[in-house]
Structure 1
């Protein structure tokens, strides 16, 4: 084994906290953990961000004024049979290998224990370790060094409540997909926390053991039970009664971090996209030539299970809708190719009013552009939060995890519509895509969605209010570290 990394972060003020953060190996988790780390460091706390070497190298740069209070510690991921070489995040593996990645991550127990022992021996015992949903093995290690753990859920609080702790699931067992098609009995509030039948198989699968030998539900329940504090990436303005309910349900404080809206990319960041993509400046230049509010941005994330048929129907639906579009057609995780070819003749027909990218684009800058009129999204919580910053109405095409619930919640707020799906298998077609896009972008109803989206922006995107959430979280970390 390599020598253990040196002690925890330096650079804190005298009364600052020493915090170690350790996210799951997915960039959809690492980026919110990094945003939380930056905000804690900005308040004079010392933060150590732990991950694997390749993941740390791929994180966006940290502002220079935070470098003294935010350090990065690499832990070498052990090899696991069946896991591709150099695979260190979910972006590096296909969906069927993610459980092997969890097994590899479990192999970080010894390096993490050595890191903590080193920190304690150097007189730098962390005040907290902030862990993710899958780190069920971290609290026992932390206990050996008298370091409390907090769970940071990058998800909205309603979905955390829907998952529920072990005791609630034991009192009201849910073992089959149909059991998840209604809100759980422990959520008495009027709620969109349920899955449709075609969505429920994923959540039922979290109860089953997988290639990592531990089910996701078991991982989460153990972390719930062993952590001292639960933090959710949300705020009271979005979920006004959920945090009190969640605190009662988990029998420990559940507190909001605020939405942790990421800052735009630095202006000198000129990364190029992958093969077939469009360079950063070209995307923005194309948008410069479009009329105000005329373009719909289409991005379904890197982990949405798109099939070739899905891509065909989405493409033809955008064509039928007759609107300008910027479509980021990402490659599936672990693949160098998109999920399937575009329909014959599509690229030639759309050339004057649509751009299809297969590489990286600066999403925040795209969403901020004056030509942008709406966002066709899978409703990942991170992307949904980013849409709040610019008051964009949504066309919603959710797939897995919490995205269907987020889509229903946003539809309930009147800021967009979902693409119509078949109730049995969840399939959609070009007509459903076109109808949803036109409702938001073309028809009079779209003005209502746009107005509601701007009202939500005004409610949620308030720098002073969001900073207050970080202040209150910091107070909780101080209050509960010695309980």
Structure 2
């Protein structure tokens, strides 16, 4: 396993490793040294899964010692991708000496892994932890944009020919969020070039999704790349009773009625501007319901406390908590007091929100998150996206309106998304659902190896 150096990529790779280890497979997981300590607690089969640390070269202008995407702002990820590519000699040397020789190499951003695999007669699988709808609209060869050329809004605003949905598309200024595809991501190549090469060069494409939700997109990708598309299902870990919810959150949540608390989290990378951060907090205040907000301090602030709106703490009292650090998101979502999950609709949060009983409000920030949101609000109709102003701003009024629309007992929209969400959740929590996907995935890998 060799995932991109971001927690949102390494974690699902490790969850998949745990599932494969259940079948007795041995896995070697290549990982930055710092991330090894961050992820060790997720390891369920240490006798079968080895976390092997690799050295991440320093690349200017990254600060010394940077190894993962969560340590830097988004605009510096380009340089971390260069560092990823510079690990190739170490990675190749290690794989050559690994005994017994591996049967399969899993990767995502390291587009050069198939070249190593081919030389060693090893199968390569490009494992994608974003939704198939996102891969289909952003990375299929049908986009037909010349290499190393910047994309225009016109290039990315309309879906490629044959794209199987009218709901999962970009509208107006949102197309700008896909322009990153044409920007450099690593020395000498664009993000689009990196990912399209990764997908074209592998023996099989794997996606963390299920056919019940994205069958048409998976078929489309398979036809475009002329490769087998293997699905792992959601690959969410079972609740670990040895790792309960932190006492401070369990105690605070227990003060409130069932389904009454709004929980908000936007992932490990995205950092809001101070004005937008404050506007969101005022929106939570306007709801008049209890809320727990877990967001990184906004740009230019050392803590969330110094970024709070004037008088905010006094007005909300014990009803609202704003936390600037990491929280146990799945365990908080499982608490009976939580009735609404406001999230950025990263793919991990998307699956966790579908599996939870709380209602879903989405505030996507980046291209793939917007596509995930379109899937949730347009295709599945299980949640509500917060309306934005023309300049992309989320107002306190629009956030409050979205939350009330899904939590209100008499809300027509709330009734619709609650019923749809309950139906989809019932499918995914049904006995054998996730196990069936892993069973099939293992059989597909065996077929791939011949």
TM-score (norm 1): 0.87
Matches within 5 A, 1:329-408: 329-331=295-297, 337-338=303-304, 341-408=307-374
Matches within 5 A, 1:462-473: 462-473=430-441
CA gap 1:459/1:308 in 2 versus in 1, 3 angstroms: same
| 229, 235, 238: which one aligns with 1:263 | 238
For 1:22, the equivalent position in structure 2 comes to: 2
CA apart distance, 1:193: 2.9
| 457, 462, 467: which one aligns with 2:425 | 457
CA RMSD, aligned part only? 2.3
Distance across 1 between alignment mates of 2:105 and 2:325 = 35
CA gap 1:369/1:150 in 2 versus in 1, 3 angstroms: same
Distance across 1 between alignment mates of 2:235 and 2:402 = 29
| 202, 221, 227: which one aligns with 1:252 | 227
Matches within 5 A, 1:31-430: 31-62=11-42, 66-119=45-98, 122=99, 124-132=100-108, 134-166=109-141, 168-170=143-145, 175-187=151-163, 189-210=164-185, 212-268=187-243, 280-331=246-297, 337-338=303-304, 341-412=307-378, 413-423=380-390, 425-430=391-396
CA apart distance, 1:201: 2.1
Which has the larger share of helix?
2
Distance across 1 between alignment mates of 2:448 and 2:303 = 48
Distance across 2 between alignment mates of 1:292 and 1:168 = 47
CA apart distance, 1:60: 4.1
CA apart distance, 1:90: 0.6
2:258–2:336 CA contact under 8 A, matched in 1: yes
Cα shift readout 1:150-203 (whole Å, capped 9, x = no counterpart): 0000011111111233355259x993113322222131x233332233222232
Distance across 1 between alignment mates of 2:97 and 2:300 = 35
CA apart distance, 1:335: 8.3
Distance across 2 between alignment mates of 1:460 and 1:207 = 36
Distance across 2 between alignment mates of 1:479 and 1:335 = 52
Distance across 2 between alignment mates of 1:451 and 1:60 = 38
1:327–1:355 CA contact under 8 A, matched in 2: yes
CA gap 1:334/1:150 in 2 versus in 1, 3 angstroms: farther
Unaligned runs of 5+ in 1: 1-20, 271-279
CA apart distance, 1:366: 0.6
CA apart distance, 1:346: 0.5
Partner SS state of residue 240, structure 1? helix
Unaligned runs of 5+ in 2: none
Does residue 435 (structure 1) correspond to residue 415 (structure 2)? The answer is: no
Distance across 1 between alignment mates of 2:236 and 2:119 = 35
CA apart distance, 1:439: 0.9
1:394–1:440 CA contact under 8 A, matched in 2: yes
Cα shift readout 1:399-454 (whole Å, capped 9, x = no counterpart): 1031112212212223221111123x211211111111111123522243323221
CA gap 1:338/1:286 in 2 versus in 1, 3 angstroms: closer
CA gap 1:140/1:240 in 2 versus in 1, 3 angstroms: closer
Partner SS state of residue 15, structure 2? helix
CA apart distance, 1:333: 9.8
Partner SS state of residue 182, structure 2? coil
Distance across 2 between alignment mates of 1:154 and 1:383 = 12
Partner SS state of residue 381, structure 2? coil
